[in-house]
A and B are shown apart, each in its own frame.
Chain A
């Protein structure tokens, strides 16, 4: 069967459009890929949330993988993921550092006292400068840094145990037999 030329052109145009839509539907426009993946974790040294005299930062974990979790008390998604963070902390596979972003110190401390504290330390970033270095655009965001100090994974949005087990755990070195 041979279609006339004037059917062929719209048919091809339609096929091209469909192809674009199919590709477009499979992408997640909400997730902006981080250019940080594979790069050294941006260095920072900030006041500790609980102890303003102490400095905490990216150098605290040299040689060990760690998580950086960006949170704030004004962030609704952070409350949603808090249980998951507590469970991950209990697993004891990886240390979680909090980056308290654009928040109020007293409110943040009250949040941790009320909901529990999954963090080994929390860096206090009221002006959001360190958050910019990490390319943070919306809390919560979670980064996994490997033992060599490179960012190997970024998750935007509330973390769930399912996401943790599916996307993060395979990236961690196998659990040690004895702890």
Chain B
């Protein structure tokens, strides 16, 4: 029982230790918050699906240092993102920009939802029509597709 409790405690506490870069880099809390937000949205290119905030890779720590330097130099968020995309391409942004070539990517979920709703609508209407035409049929075979 004790062991299970310990295991559960460890599993619950695990996520708290996930942040690799937990140190305070800026005295100003607003700048620290900006820094943390920026590094969460930049991809670690060697690890692909992690942000540079989550990664221990050498490149991630270099890029974090670069973000810190740029913030200290007074650059805006847009300028920092531009600095990164000029060197690493849009792939470095975990939130891809909305542009003609990413419209499908951004609209994808909505298109799937609309498509699904369309199918549901057509099926329901057909069944309703079939039910009106022959009400008895529904009772005979309720599960017929």
Residues of A within 8 A of B62 (CB): 102, 127-129, 131-132
Q: Which among A5, A32, A129 is the interface contact of B45 at CB below 8 angstroms?
A: A32
Residues of B within 8 A of A34 (CB): 89
For the complex, what is the distance from the CA of A74 to the CA of B89, rounded to whole Å? 26
CA distance A133 to B63 in the complex (A): 11
Choose from B86, B89, B122 the contact partner of A32 (Cβ within 8 Å).
Answer: B89
Task: Looking at the assembled complex, report how far the CB atom of A68 sits from the nearest CB atom of chain B, in whole angstroms.
Answer: 14
Within 8 A of B (CB), among A1-56: 5-6, 9, 32-36
Chain B contact surface mostly: helix
The chain A residue sitting closest to B89, CB to CB, is A35
User: Do B87 and A32 touch (CB < 8 A)?
Assistant: no
A116 at the binding interface (Cβ < 8 Å): no
- The interface size bin for chain A is 10 to 19
**A36 / chain B contacts, CB cutoff of 8 Å:** 87
B interface with A by C-beta (< 8 Å): 45-46, 58-59, 62-63, 66, 85-89, 91, 119, 122, 145
Cβ contacts A to B, 26 pairs, < 8 Å: A5-B122, A6-B145, A32-B91, A33-B89, A33-B91, A35-B85, A35-B86, A35-B87, A35-B88, A36-B87, A102-B58, A127-B62, A128-B58, A128-B59, A128-B62, A129-B62, A129-B66, A131-B62, A132-B63, A132-B66, A132-B87, A134-B87, A135-B89, A137-B59, A138-B45, A138-B59
